[in-house]
Chain A
Amino acid sequence: MAETGRRDGRGCEEFRSIFMQTGLLKHAKGSSYLELGATKVMVGVFGPRQSDRKLGFSDSGRLQCEVRFASFAGGSATQTHQSAAERNMSAALTQALAPSVLLDRLPKTVVDVYAMVLESGGGELAACITAASAALASAGLELLDLAPACQVVRVDGQLLLDPTLAEADQANGSVVLAALPATNEVTLMSVTGTWSA
């Protein structure tokens, strides 16, 4: 096998080891815990509950996602930049998950998804999406499909799947992709950085 130069000895298209478990939180309707290498994410799903009056009447349900970093999560998102990163990730999480939930079967209701990154080890958004999808399924909500996600970064012209924190920091560009495997539909494609021919 060609020398890829990855610090942990993985191939360019090799994932880190995954651990996932659902149904851990007592109060949440559905929950999941995901470990992707060093990245640790916990998600709790609540609802469906009645929509707020100010959101108006809606024939289909709504998904409200929130991502938070624990104070001890570490990583490149320092305390000052955390809230901006959290807001962007919350919007991306909603975009990735909403098409996978059969929301028209839940009129006038809201489903809350709360994701917390316990430790940043690279690929936090992809981990949040995958874990949240499992949490939605464990909550018994009707889904079109599960929505797993992954991240690819470009470091010195090389494409690396499932980057660690160090690899993500060195990256010129990154793509996070979330898709529904049964029908091959992409729900989120977030491209950042420099991607040139």
Chain B
Amino acid sequence: MSTLVCPGDRIGSADVYRAGSGTYERHGGIFAACCGQAQDATSSSGERLLQVTAPQDIKSAIPKPGAVVTVKVTRVQQTSASCKVLVVGSTAVSKEFSGIIRLQDVRSTEIDKVVLHHCFRPGDIVRAEVLSLGDARSYYLTTAKNELGVVYAKSSAGVPMVAVGWEAMQCPMTRVLEPRKVAATQPEGNPSASPAP
């Protein structure tokens, strides 16, 4: 079943279906919340879901807790690194959101020995995960996982660096090693690669 619906259209009964993405439940019925195609789907727990998928190019992207985001570091201080959220998942945001990576959220181990200046530098592109909505100013982000951390950084010479292990990156031109908390981008099914703490 795939029909074109508008917000407010009743697309099913709450007795038969659960409200999926792009829908809401009210007065025992499932209603469409956006314009798009209404589809029958099965959730991971086996329930029948009704969801409405909007066309890809108008999807809104806002950071939600648990989402993986790509950010650009703007300021590195003693206890936190401020950054601008550019991409949520795989959708670019229309206007940047502010995020902050606190000292205790950089790594999962030895968090009292973290020196922020050796993990991030202004201008680095970092993959992080949204911890929470944070305060009025910024979202709280974390890089305390193997696959989170710096994905792209330029050396002091202005050349994009190559990752060397999980703690450093090297400039291909000057051969200088610069400390960073590097995101592990191992190919799938590679057990020999040593995991970062």
Please list the residues of chain A having a beta carbon within 8 angstroms of any beta carbon in chain B: 29-30, 46-51, 53, 55-57, 100, 102, 106-109, 137-146, 180-183
Contact = CB atoms under 8 A, between A and B. Distances in A.
Given A142-B22, A142-B34, A183-B27, A137 B136 contact: no
A138 B33 CA distance: 12
Contact of B60 (A53, A108, A141, A183): A141
Given A145-B8, A182-B8, A108 B133 contact: yes
Interface SS of chain A = loop
Nearest to B24: A102
A140 B60 contact: yes
Given A146-B8, A180-B8, 14 more contacts: A48-B62, A50-B95, A50-B98, A55-B136, A108-B133, A108-B136, A137-B6, A137-B34, A140-B55, A141-B34, A142-B24, A142-B33, A143-B8, A183-B27
B94 interface: yes
Given A146-B7, A182-B9, A183-B27, A30 B98 contact: no
Contact of A50 (B33, B60, B97): B97
The 6 closest A-B pairs by CB, nearest first: A145-B8, A140-B58, A182-B8, A143-B7, A142-B33, A49-B95
B120 interface: no
Interface SS of chain B = loop
Interface of B: 6-10, 22, 24, 26-27, 31, 33-35, 54-55, 58-60, 62, 94-98, 133, 135-137, 139
10 contacts: A29-B58, A46-B94, A46-B95, A48-B62, A49-B94, A53-B136, A100-B7, A137-B35, A144-B8, A183-B27
B94 A47 contact: yes
Given A137-B34, A143-B34, A30 B58 contact: yes
A140 B34 contact: yes
B153 to A, nearest CB: 25
Contacts of A137: 6-7, 34-35
Contacts of A102: 24, 33
Contacts of B34: 137, 140-143
B94 A144 contact: no
Contacts of B55: 140
A182 B7 CA distance: 9
Nearest to A111: B60
A67 B133 CA distance: 31
A138 B58 contact: yes
A56 B134 CA distance: 11
Nearest to A28: B94
A51 B9 CA distance: 30
